[in-house]
């Protein structure tokens, strides 16, 4: 059982929904992003999604793209991202960390070397946006053999024919992208999300966490009421980009997690 599996089992036992937060590793700089990461569990975050900066983030909107560029400009790399996770793990051995990004940096490091380093750093799961199920032998299957959850994205265009393929070999949870488009480009609607969550949960047997288009405490609660949890990324990253203090960023995160946990 991974930390992700244990977290969702614990939340289910408590009758609570999950709150997942995304931050970009190294944004606005390594020290500040680590300080924010360290504060996330106390702000009510159940699972941390740690963004891996990449030069061509095709699924991300301007907010996340610019965060990745700031991190890259500051010298952030895959190796340093894993070092950041390892530093966090020295103080927190329970909060799950999901590394979210694209395959190119992992491919460049080498899959075996990456999986060994990720496991040593305390990474629990992977969301690799540009690896479809047809490429499971590349990373998904080796990752699961190494004890990491491989978390797949489902979208409004994932029809009943495609969904079983998406659910195959997925573990931990399914990330439902609530809108068609890039991150930060529209708002999620609970009425539209609810039947999709049921459909995906039945197909996968896994918790379904909804992201993209969640940007307020009220929206966080509304989406969590019809899903197993909610992910917020762009709204948090935009506060970091605006130069908010670490305390203010974490206060905003707490308001979002309170919304999700009130569901």
**CA–CA distance, 224 with 234 (Å, rounded to integer):** 17
Longest dimension (CA), the chain: 46
Residue 191's nearest CA partner among 217, 163, 227 is 227
Residue 245's nearest CA partner among 234, 256, 253 is 253
Catalytic, 83? Answer: no
The strand pair at 208-211 and 97-101 is best described as unpaired
What are phi and psi for residue 55, nearest 5 degrees? -75, -20
Catalytic, 60? Answer: yes
From the list 5, 27, 49, 136, the catalytic residue is: 49
> Which residues lie closer than 8 Å to 151 by C-beta, 6 or more apart?
98, 125, 126, 127, 170, 171, 172, 173, 174, 175
From the list 46, 60, 124, 136, the catalytic residue is: 60
**CA–CA distance, 79 with 82 (Å, rounded to integer):** 5
Residues noted as catalytic: 49, 60
């Amino acid at each position: 059982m991974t930390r992700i599996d244990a977290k969702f089992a614990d939340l289910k036992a408590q009758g609570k929904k999950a709150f997942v937060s995304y931050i970009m590793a190294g944004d606005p700089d390594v020290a500040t992003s680590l300080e924010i990461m360290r504060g996330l569990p106390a702000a009510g975050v159940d699972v941390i999604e740690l963004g891996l900066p990449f030069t061509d983030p095709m699924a991300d909107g301007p907010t996340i793209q610019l965060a990745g560029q700031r991190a890259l400009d500051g010298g952030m790399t895959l190796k340093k991202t894993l070092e950041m996770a390892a530093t966090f793990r020295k103080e927190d051995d329970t909060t799950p960390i999901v590394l979210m990004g694209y395959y190119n940096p992992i491919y460049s490091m080498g899959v075996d070397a990456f999986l060994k380093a990720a496991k040593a750093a305390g990474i629990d799961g992977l969301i690799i946006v540009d690896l479809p199920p047809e490429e499971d032998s590349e990373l998904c299957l080796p990752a699961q053999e190494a004890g990491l959850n491989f978390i797949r994205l489902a979208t409004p265009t994932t029809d009943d024919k495609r969904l079983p393929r998406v659910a195959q070999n997925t573990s931990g949870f399914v990330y439902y992208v609530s809108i068609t488009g890039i991150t930060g480009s529209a708002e999620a609607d609970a009425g539209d999300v609810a039947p999709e969550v049921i459909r995906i949960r039945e197909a996968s047997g896994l918790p379904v966490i909804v992201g993209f288009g969640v940007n307020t405490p009220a929206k966080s609660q509304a989406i969590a009421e019809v899903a197993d949890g909610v992910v917020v990324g762009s709204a948090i990253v935009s506060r970091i980009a605006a130069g908010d203090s670490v305390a203010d960023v974490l206060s905003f995160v707490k308001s979002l997690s309170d919304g999700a946990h009130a569901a």
